[in-house]
Amino acid sequence: MKNHVPYIIVGGGIVGSTAAYYLSRSGHPVILFDKQVGQASRAAAGIICPWFSKRRNKKWYYLVSKGAEFYRQFMNDLTADGYDTSNLFQETGTIILRKNSKDLQKDLENALLKQEASPSIGIVSSLTSEAIKEKFPLIDSPWPGSFISGGGRVNGQALVDLLHKAIQHKGGKVIKEAVQLYQEKENFQLKTPKGYYTSDQILLAAGPAVKDLTRSIGLDCDLHPQKGQLLSLFHQQWMNNNWPGIMSPGGIDILPFRNGELMIGASHEDDKGSDLRIDPLVIKELKEKALQILPDTFNYPLHQIKVGTRAFTTSGDVLIGPVPNNSKLWTISGLGSSGLTSGPYLAYQWYRKVVDGNWEIPDNLISSHSLIH
């Protein structure tokens, strides 16, 4: 027996969950299939502060800057629906540590250039090491930093969990099953252990698993898995803090949460495939990097370790768009470590595209035709 649902989304991470939330919020029947295993969003806690990155990819910057702005609308929509977002996203500011004064000056100049398009940047100021310690007493940085008042922090697992509840409250379904994708002429169907499903619109948003899903219908997708590990420390005295997130030149972020946790990470491991085992050497390396600015890193026991797998493309572009020659099957993947920043925005734009026929994504960002063959 085949079940027909107007909208089906495969992948219950930040992209799939946001898309399903907005569909169910506007009364559209939707099923979200979520296997959960290795999901990057559930293993992620991130800083939302993309405006001062040194990456030169303009397509990437468009998505992350729009994504940072969208978080305000996103949280307002959830709040309007009666959900408590206080543990999901907090605008506590971000300190970007810089090794020289030229970078501090460049941040101030970039703020003036970018604030009109990205008002969420807020106020940008330069901080000495002493001033950084005043804002975040546990930090002892050898470098100065730029404070971005509009920087925020997001708890990926808490956000995804709430979205799943919201989807079901509004009439959508979340099914914890793996699926297989098949094609019959111009139509697609999904096979699960309990039956077959067809749909008017299918979105594949399952991270690196999108590659396997498209392979089953004869398409090769330029996606690769990247393992990410992060750790957290905990102390009761850290609870209810309002400290900013820290972005270090050592390649790690430190995120303090109001529940007393300090998240440290994350690793970027390109050669581990879908291996979800904790690697003690990687955890030790993360702690050693944190030690540069957090002197008491090794004085606290590990609270928890999270491991997930994100997807990235060879070119660094995000995979967005329908598969070649068929607009019934869409893909969003390859967001890499920026998924928490750009994912909700991309999901919302896809929702607008399939429901209303319009979105804000420029044509030159539609990469599916070049990344899927």
User: pLDDT per residue over 320-343, tens digit each?
Assistant: 999 998 999 999 999 999 999 999
Above 70 in pLDDT, residue 41? no
Query: Across the chain, what does the average pLDDT equal?
Result: 94
Task: Tell me yes or no: is domain 90-153+225-310 CATH 3.30.9.10.
Answer: yes
pLDDT at position 224 is 94
Is CATH 1.10.1040.10 the classification given to domain 2-41+158-223+315-371? Answer: no
Q: CA separation (Å) from 80 to 24, 73, 165? A: 15, 10, 15
C-beta atoms surrounding 275 within 10 Å:
13
Q: What is the C-alpha to C-alpha distance for residues 370 and 313, in angstroms, rounded to an integer?
A: 11
Q: What's the pTM value of the predicted model, to 2 decimals?
A: 0.95
Percent of the chain with pLDDT over 90: 84
Name every residue whose Cβ is closer than 8 Å to that of residue 83 and which is 6 or more positions away in sequence: 162, 165, 166
pLDDT of residue 42: 57
Tokens of 360: 């804000």
Mean pLDDT of 17-41: 88
Ranges in the chain annotated CATH 3.50.50.60: 2-41+158-223+315-371
Mean pLDDT, residues 146-154 taken together: 98
Residue 275 has pLDDT above 90, yes or no: no
What number is the average pLDDT over the span 304-330? Answer: 92
Considering the chain, tell me which residue range(s) the CATH 3.30.9.10 domain(s) occupy.
90-153+225-310
The pLDDT, as a whole number, for residue 18 is 98
Which pLDDT score, from 0 to 100, does residue 370 have? 86
CB atoms near residue 115 (< 10 Å): 16
Please tell me which residue, 265 or 245, carries the higher pLDDT value: 245
Mean predicted confidence (pLDDT) in 255-277? 90
- d(C-alpha 204, C-alpha 15), whole Å: 10
In terms of Cβ atoms closer than 10 Å to its own Cβ (0-12, 13-18, 19+), residue 305 is middle
Can you tell me the distance from the alpha carbon of 242 to that of 94, in angstroms, rounded to the nearest whole number?
11
Determine the average pLDDT of the residues in 93-119.
97
- pLDDT surpassing 80 at residue 1: no
Residue 132 burial class via C-beta count within 10 angstroms: exposed 0-12, middle 13-18, buried 19 and up? buried
Phi, psi of 343 (to 5 degrees): -60, -50
pLDDT of residue 49 exceeding 60: yes
Residues 6+ apart with CB under 8 A from 366: 320, 321
184 confidence band (pLDDT: 50, 70, 90): confident
pLDDT score of 181 more than 90: yes
**Around Cβ 29, how many Cβ atoms within 10 Å?**
15
What does each C-alpha distance from 202 to 7, 16, 115, 181, 195 come to in angstroms?
6, 11, 36, 10, 17
Q: Is the pLDDT of residue 84 over 90?
A: yes
324 or 273, which is more confident: 324
- pLDDT at res. 119: 98
